[in-house]
Amino acid sequence: MLSTRERDDTESLSAMLREALRGSHADYTSAPIERAVLLLAIPMVLELVLESVFAVVDVFFVSRLGADAIATVGLTESMLTVMYAVIAGLCIGVTAVVARRIGERDRDGAASAAVQAVALGFAIAVPVGVAGVWLAPRMLAMMGASAGVLAHVAYTRIVFGFNIVILMLFLLNAVFRGAGDATVAMRVLWMANAINICLDPCFIFGLGPFPRLGVAGAAVATTTGRGVGVLLQLAVLWRGTDRLAIRRRHLRIDPAVMWNMVRLSGSAVLQSLIATTSWVVLVRTIAAFGSAAVAGYTITIRIVIFALLPAWGLANAAATLVGQNLGAGEAGRAESAVWQTCRYCVALFGAITVVFVISADWLVAAFTSEAAVRAVAAPGLRIATAGFITYGIGIVTSQALNGAGDVWAPMWINILSFWVFGVSLAQLLAWRLEMGPRGVFTAMSVAFVMTAVGGLALFRRGRWKSTRV
């Protein structure tokens, strides 16, 4: 039997969960810290988990077509990390500015910032799409793709050609997160994922009236799902929420707001590029060991990214809370929110680490039955898992700095973690010490640890409290 206090705690947690999923109207500059973190983090975690489902579902179905098909998805996603870096940089700038304006009770300023970000997004997506379609075979070849992988180049062309839907889906969700409307972002991805899950097997295998497109079918299904999600986001922004609405008067280029966005996003893009290009180098290192190694790496990274998404959800909640509370002049409250988020992160990833170490073989087996692929993926997953707890702390403190507008500090953290330790150590372990793919995964785990070391050191200095946005 539960005690009265235990029943009250259970009912309170259940009520908070319902409020978070339904959409909270709480003021995040005055609500209790623990409650504010959870109300934002729950939908943000679910949003990112759902976003990762796109990649996991694609790999799940594509894996039925063999190692070359999995490698095609893996190499394309690795090249797309440069695009993701640009998107992540824009999202950091958008979240920081929108959150600060919301904290200052300047809703027109928040709406104007959202419009400027969308304009910047279009300016980036068009040339990237044209170049991606044209240069897809050359880019795959530069990544070490085999002839079997190059046969699936249509997948890469579709993904790059329609990169606008990827960019806008992330960007508009950053607007909602900055405003504190995290539930909207979560619901958009529910719909987009449902469409992708239904269409993936139809286009890949040619079920019913659908054409059999093979690997390219995964790109068609994902693009369709994301495209519908973007249309829904735009409709919600135009209709308006309790915190943010775009009106006709906001639909213009504002040079001052645009420059502020470029200033923040530009340095944030550089910050993200430093991290994401390191992943490109790592997959290029793995590619030298053959398609089975690339396929194993791809499966491991999909599982790792999926597992780490709660950290990003918690980190995004911390960024929003820091931005809004600094806007309201509550720097001490902003700092308390970050430490509370770190505590949640440690508890969550302690449990995830234990589960993954025990069940790595089973998790990998769900994606492939090929022994050579499993021989790379399962030990790689156990090695990478060793750095989960520290990565969670590192990403929370780094995103808190970003939420304050101190986007240069995380750049130095990324240089230290992903290049000085990640890439350099991977080359040493994989080649000089002849550890092969396991050396790459070991370097990845060390990079996770260094992310926490750098994040904690710079956050505790406190310079972010005086950053102007």
- Return d(Cα 44, Cα 453) in angstroms, integer: 25
Using DSSP's 3-state secondary structure scheme, residue 202 falls into helix
Cβ atoms of 127 and 263 within 8 Å: the answer is no
- Return d(Cα 95, Cα 404) in angstroms, integer: 10
- Return d(Cα 180, Cα 10) in angstroms, integer: 25
Residue-wise pLDDT for 83-110, tens only, equals: 777 788 888 888 888 999 999 989 898 8
Angle formed by the axes of helices 163-179 and 33-62, nearest 10°: 170
Residue-wise pLDDT for 206-249, tens only, equals: 988 888 998 888 889 989 999 999 999 999 998 888 888 898 88
Whether 20 shows a pLDDT value over 80: the answer reads no
Q: Using 50, 70 and 90 to split pLDDT, how confident is the model at 435?
A: confident
Report the amino acid identity of residue 49: V
- Return d(Cα 35, Cα 19) in angstroms, integer: 11
Q: Using 50, 70 and 90 to split pLDDT, how confident is the model at 6?
A: very low
- Return d(Cα 45, Cα 182) in angstroms, integer: 10
Residue-wise pLDDT for 448-462, tens only, equals: 999 999 999 999 998
Residue with tokens 């609500």: 31
Residue 94, classified by CB atoms within 10 Å of its CB into exposed (0-12), middle (13-18) or buried (19+), is buried
Higher pLDDT residue, 205 or 269?
Answer: 205
Mean pLDDT of all residues in 11-28: 74
Residue-wise pLDDT for 110-128, tens only, equals: 899 889 888 888 888 888 8
Report the amino acid identity of residue 250: H
Mean pLDDT of all residues in 326-354: 92
Cβ atoms of 223 and 159 within 8 Å: the answer is yes
Of 14-28, 166-180, 183-197, 395-409, least confident by mean pLDDT is 14-28
Average pLDDT, rounded, for the chain: 85
Q: What pLDDT is stored for residue 17 in this prediction?
A: 75
Q: What pLDDT is stored for residue 2 in this prediction?
A: 45
**Percent of the chain scored above 70 by pLDDT?**
96
- Return d(Cα 172, Cα 431) in angstroms, integer: 42
Whether 3 shows a pLDDT value over 60: the answer reads no
- Return d(Cα 171, Cα 120) in angstroms, integer: 10
Q: 350-354 — which CB contacts under 8 Å span 24+ positions? A: 350/389, 352/307, 352/310, 352/385, 352/388, 353/385, 353/386, 353/388, 353/389
Q: What pLDDT is stored for residue 123 in this prediction?
A: 85
Whether 353 shows a pLDDT value over 80: the answer reads yes
Q: What pLDDT is stored for residue 63 in this prediction?
A: 80
Cβ atoms of 373 and 431 within 8 Å: the answer is no
CA distances from 179 to 29, 98, 165, 315 (A): 12, 6, 21, 15
Cβ atoms of 67 and 291 within 8 Å: the answer is yes
Cβ atoms of 295 and 370 within 8 Å: the answer is yes
Higher pLDDT residue, 284 or 201?
Answer: 201
Per domain, the residue ranges of the chain are 33-466
User: By C-alpha distance, which of 393, 401, 420 is closest to 466?
Assistant: 401
Q: What pLDDT is stored for residue 185 in this prediction?
A: 84
* Helix H or strand E segment including 60: helix 33-62
Residue-wise pLDDT for 130-156, tens only, equals: 888 898 888 888 877 777 788 788 888
- Return d(Cα 406, Cα 115) in angstroms, integer: 22
Whether 282 shows a pLDDT value over 70: the answer reads yes
Mean pLDDT of all residues in 376-396: 91
Cβ atoms of 135 and 153 within 8 Å: the answer is no
User: By C-alpha distance, which of 269, 270, 271, 289 is closest to 426?
Assistant: 289
User: By C-alpha distance, which of 106, 119, 110 is closest to 178?
Assistant: 110
Cβ atoms of 412 and 274 within 8 Å: the answer is no
pTM of the model: 0.78
Compute CA 201 distance to the chain's CA centroid, rounded to the nearest angstrom. Answer: 25
CA distances from 186 to 22, 41, 45, 280, 318 (A): 10, 11, 9, 29, 17
Q: How many CB atoms lie within 10 A of CB 156?
A: 30
Residue-wise pLDDT for 355-367, tens only, equals: 998 988 898 888 8
Q: What pLDDT is stored for residue 10 in this prediction?
A: 54
- Return d(Cα 328, Cα 322) in angstroms, integer: 10
Mean pLDDT of all residues in 64-70: 81
Mean pLDDT of all residues in 168-180: 89
Higher pLDDT residue, 54 or 312?
Answer: 312
